[in-house]
Amino acid sequence: MRGLLQDLVAGQARKRAEATALVYRDVRLSYGELESQSNRSARRLRQAGVRPGDRVCFLAPKSPLPLVWMLGILKAGAIHVPLDPASPAARLQKIIDACEPRLVLTEDEPFTDGDSDAPLEATRAPEDPAHILFTSGSTGVPKGVVITHANVMAFVEWGLAHFGPGEADRVSGYTPLHFDLSTYDIFGAYAAGAELHLVPPETALLPHRLARFIRDAGLTQWFSVPSLLNYLAKADALAQDDFPQLRRVLWCGEVLPTPALIYWMQRVPHARFTNLYGPTETTIASSYYDVPACPDSPAAHIPIGRACAGEELLVVDGELCIGGAGLSPGYWRDPAKTAAAFVPHPQRPDERIYRTGDLGRRRPDGLFELIGRADSQIKSRGYRIELGEIEAALGTLPGVRESAVVAIPTEGFEQWLICCAYVPLPGAALGPASLRAALARLVPGYMLPARWEEHAALPRNANGKIDRPRLRQEFQTCKQASLTS
């Protein structure tokens, strides 16, 4: 299944024009309609001066419209750059300045009308960029990760072979369009000829309403970040033997707390549960682990598994590195950052690997385990401490919806000050003293956070992950304020 991403929809339109492609609230678009509307969008873009290789940004809440744009941009031979409508204007301006788009599409000008819905002649190759996804940069300037048609097609092809979705499937569209997990939701559904059900924003953050959405839509596949699965588990939003049509539950992006996995596997025993791992720079995911049975302990460690077909995982000096078909060409117009992150393969110098910044190891059975982040391991009082271990322990405590543990430098003997930001479940009376006492039963004293801060919601970066640099800055600012007060 090599070729261009837009070919997936064109192929379904030829075979099954009346079959449903997209569902959003009361709107249903067939594959034929999606093909026609995106062809008209492509022609409008060409008339507006868009040429092959140009960047076109789009800014709109998730709905069928930006998905039509996405295909239209690709059919015009351009590169689509999804913008997060919830991002501050200053950050959006940085992204627009960096990618220099020919156009920025908004709901005010749909760009879907026109007289002809005949397809344009293809002007791109599989190795050409399909989109640029901007992730957080350590300097405060977002990094643009370039992803090609071939990068996405390789994962979609693997997903079809491994999960076996088909025309009868109804898959979730929960993840925002600027986050790379949505790429598989969209093009995996198109490749299978399945229905893509976009989750409305008013449903996305209410656990019982979201559970009802999964039931009412009869979803057969769910894919999201782990924090969402954890949220539904903490809210006890699932009934026993819930979601009878759900066959696959996939997650990627962070570690799913084992208690949440146990909760899901006990209540949805008929589904297959798969842990996917991989950064944006290697396209959606690079490894997988199909959980064979419900873990027998909340402390059980879930591996990231083995490499997807066409991918390679290796550990270099304790750091997980990835090579293979999903490897991005690099960062948009940033050769220095590209050279630092994409380095020669240690055995095959003519090939590249990506340094993930994650610490890992390969077990005797060949499965890979994620140990933590290279930037989240500290040494305090002579002890080596993995902050992720503290978070995992916090995840087992009742009443804690989610938490994040960071460390800030201190001039004291301990060298590092461990800090915890947490979100309690509604109605849970959780204070630092009770949390510390409960955590003290699970981890040694030297791993207990010295600073605690309750949040209504943890800050998130553009990809929906917990914004740890922001938390570190907040704790650092509070520390400095207390020293000067």
DSSP per residue, 10-43: HHHHHH-TTSEEEEETTEEEEHHHHHHHHHHHHH
Contacts of 266 (CB under 8 A, 6+ apart): 240, 294
* Backbone dihedral region for residue 328 (phi beyond 0: left; psi -120 to 50: alpha; all else: beta): beta
The structure tokens listed for 213 are 């959405």
- Examine residue 320 and state whether it is found in any structural domain, yes or no: no
- Examine residue 354 and state whether it is found in any structural domain, yes or no: no
- Examine residue 364 and state whether it is found in any structural domain, yes or no: no
How does pLDDT run across 201-244, given as a tens digit for each residue? 989 878 999 999 999 999 999 999 888 898 899 899 999 999 99
Instruction: Tell me, yes or no, whether 285 and 388 share the same domain.
Output: no
- Examine residue 369 and state whether it is found in any structural domain, yes or no: no
pLDDT number for residue 101: 98
Q: What is the mean pLDDT of residues 85-93?
A: 83
Last residue of a domain, which of 273, 307, 341? 307
What is the span of the domain harbouring residue 56? 6-307
Q: 11-25, 58-72, 422-436: which range is least confident on average?
A: 422-436
Give the integer Cα–Cα distance in Å for 67 and 389. 39
Q: What is the pTM of this model?
A: 0.85
With a cut of 80, say whether residue 311 has pLDDT above it.
yes
- 137 Cα distance to chain centroid: 16
Instruction: Convert 240-278 to b/e letters by CB count within 10 Å (16 or more is b).
Output: eebbebbbbbbbbbbbbbbbbbbbbbebbeebbbbbbbb
How does pLDDT run across 45-67, given as a tens digit for each residue? 999 999 999 999 999 989 999 99
45 close to 57: Cβ distance less than 8 angstroms: no
Instruction: Tell me, yes or no, whether 300 and 398 share the same domain.
Output: no
Q: What is the mean pLDDT of residues 301-313?
A: 97
Quickly state the pLDDT bin for 324 (edges 50, 70, 90). Answer: very high
Biggest distance spanned by C-alpha atoms of the chain: 73
Instruction: Tell me, yes or no, whether 70 and 171 share the same domain.
Output: yes
Instruction: Tell me, yes or no, whether 144 and 292 share the same domain.
Output: yes
List, as one string, the DSSP characters of 207-231. Answer: HHHHHHHHHHHT-SEEEE-HHHHHH
From 370, 367, 360, select the one nearest 391 (Cα to Cα): 370
Counted domains in the chain: 2
Quickly state the pLDDT bin for 480 (edges 50, 70, 90). Answer: low
Q: DSSP 3-state assignment of 381?
A: coil
Q: What is the mean pLDDT of residues 85-103?
A: 90
- Examine residue 204 and state whether it is found in any structural domain, yes or no: yes
Instruction: Tell me, yes or no, whether 204 and 58 share the same domain.
Output: yes
Instruction: Tell me, yes or no, whether 205 and 78 share the same domain.
Output: yes
- Examine residue 353 and state whether it is found in any structural domain, yes or no: no
- Examine residue 189 and state whether it is found in any structural domain, yes or no: yes
With a cut of 70, say whether residue 151 has pLDDT above it.
yes
Q: What is the mean pLDDT of residues 17-44?
A: 97
Alpha helices, H only, 222-301 = 226-234, 258-267
pLDDT number for residue 485: 34
Quickly state the pLDDT bin for 377 (edges 50, 70, 90). Answer: confident
Instruction: Tell me, yes or no, whether 253 and 396 share the same domain.
Output: no
Could you tell me the CA-to-CA distances from 231 to 225, 344, 403, 457 in Å, in that order? 11, 40, 11, 12
pLDDT number for residue 484: 40
Instruction: Tell me, yes or no, whether 299 and 413 share the same domain.
Output: no
For residue 469, the domain's CATH number is: 3.30.300.30
Last residue of a domain, which of 262, 286, 307? 307
Instruction: Tell me, yes or no, whether 383 and 263 share the same domain.
Output: no
Contacts of 478 (CB under 8 A, 6+ apart): 451, 453
For residue 238, the domain's CATH number is: 3.40.50.12780
pLDDT number for residue 412: 62
pLDDT number for residue 389: 83
- Examine residue 279 and state whether it is found in any structural domain, yes or no: yes
Give the integer Cα–Cα distance in Å for 57 and 99. 9
